[in-house]
Amino acid sequence: MKAVILLSGGLDSSTVLYQAKADGCECYAISFDYQQRHRRELESAKSIALSAGVKIHQIVNFDLTQWGGSALTDDRIELPSDRTLTEMSQDIPITYVPARNTIFLSFALAWAETLTADRIYIGVNALDYSGYPDCRPDYIQAMQEVFRLGTKQGREGNPINIVAPLIELKKTEIIQLGNKLGVPWEKTWSCYAGGETACGVCDSCRLRLAAFAELGLQDPVPYASC
């Protein structure tokens, strides 16, 4: 069974890759260099792909900074920091990149169909405080219908299925799952700030640190503010 896995190098996508391995899939990883502020994550994606023994790891290059619209693609927009979990949950944050998962899934689908793959794994999570619109169950359901209608495989009755194993898990539950699967957390990267050391204060860092702390565990990634 062949599967394409969207791999950012972060905690969630790395767990999903290891889940795909545990599911018995022949894994093909795809990452994206869209000139994001936190391109450091691509180093982790390469490292995780190597540690997981993927068949092929593709990095697709394009530039979303020409449009901006997000703190991750426009350096003029200040990155939120030191926000509480309550503050993070109040609205869709400026770190949302317009239509990012639709773009990512389109690339993954094109590659998956050339591979005659059965599945595409994605690490979206609806319970994350970020509340991104393209990380929710109704979005994934809609994209599944696009997969069915928009591909030869789908029209011939063999659609490529989207697998989102983390979509209803809390961050603590994702870490617990990753521990069972043997995810090497020290190789992962979640920080949005774009430095060589995780900042510890952006939303992504704070969510990650809070989850490890809730479990009574030490995050092995070094942080500038810790």
181 within some domain: yes
Q: For the whole model, what pTM was predicted?
A: 0.96
**Tally of structural domains, the chain:** 1
202 within some domain: yes
> For residue 183, what is the domain's CATH number?
3.40.50.620
223 within some domain: no
90 within some domain: yes
Domain of residue 208, residue span: 2-214
By DSSP bridging, strand 119-121 and strand 56-61 are unpaired
Q: Is 53 left (phi over 0), alpha (psi -120 to 50) or beta?
A: left
Residues 186, 85: Cα–Cα separation, whole Å: 24
Residues 99, 31: Cα–Cα separation, whole Å: 16
224 within some domain: no
Is 225 a residue whose pLDDT tops 70?
Answer: no
221 within some domain: no
- State the pLDDT at residue 97: 96
- State the pLDDT at residue 130: 73
Gap between the terminal Cα atoms of the chain: 42
Residues 80, 201: Cα–Cα separation, whole Å: 8
Is 142 a residue whose pLDDT tops 70?
Answer: yes
189 within some domain: yes
> Taking a C-beta distance cutoff of 8 angstroms, is the pair 98, 69 a contact?
yes
Summarised one tens digit per residue, pLDDT across range 165-224 is 999 999 999 999 999 999 999 999 999 998 889 999 999 999 999 999 999 999 999 999
